Amino acid sequence: MPQLVAPDARVHTSFLAAMAEFTAEGRGGARDDSMVGRDLRTWSDRWQDPAVFAEYVAGQRAAAEPDGPRPHGFVPCTNLWWTEGDVYLARIAVRHRLNDFLREYGGHIGYDVRPSARRRGHATAMLRAALPATAALGIDQALITCDTTNTASRKVIEACGGVFEDERGGKLRYWVPTAPAPSRP
């Protein structure tokens, strides 16, 4: 059964296969400003080396630290991977706070599911599993966005309780409660 885990070098081989799938679908180009796109441009020519991959994993974990290394303008972010055993299926990023860009376009949470694992409920299950970790950061309502053309992601967000707020710059913006509603007596 898949589960959320901290980034872990044990999925190295499967992770590389997943990144090859993303590359094959056109991800990683200069105009791809997604998490996967940035990582492909920065790391893909070096990930094969286990020592480099271990460095990447350490950086993924360190991104959650308040003073951890991150690009200018980025906020602390808890990165979690959705794995089944040693098989990497997807990842989700929980941003600890919103800056101006995230408030408008990126939101608290972003995720990617490898192409061969799509349409099997992984994104919905992964987002549901990440909501308690989001609540633990003091985020009661998480802003999650998706492209207006991304019907699958819209359905994932709505299935997890997302309430539509508006559309801005080609993005649909939803607020998702991070904890279950209290039961009524």
Domain boundaries, the chain: 3-137
Nearest to 111 by CA among 79, 137, 63, 86: 79
Quickly state the pLDDT bin for 181 (edges 50, 70, 90): low
41 has pLDDT over 90: yes
State whether the Cα torsion 117-119-120-123 is positive or negative.
Answer: positive
> 3-137: CATH homologous superfamily?
Gcn5-related N-acetyltransferase (GNAT) (3.40.630.30)
Distance CA 61, CA 118 (A): 25
Structural tokens at position 42: 């920065």
pTM score over 0.85: yes
State whether the Cα torsion 104-144-63-92 is positive or negative.
Answer: negative
**Secondary structure class of 8 (helix, strand, coil):** coil
pLDDT tens profile 113-166: 999 999 999 999 999 999 999 999 999 999 999 999 999 999 999 999 999 999
Average pLDDT, the chain: 94
184 has pLDDT over 80: no
Beta strands in the chain (DSSP E): 3-5, 77-84, 87-95, 109-113, 141-147, 163-168, 171-177
71 has pLDDT over 70: yes
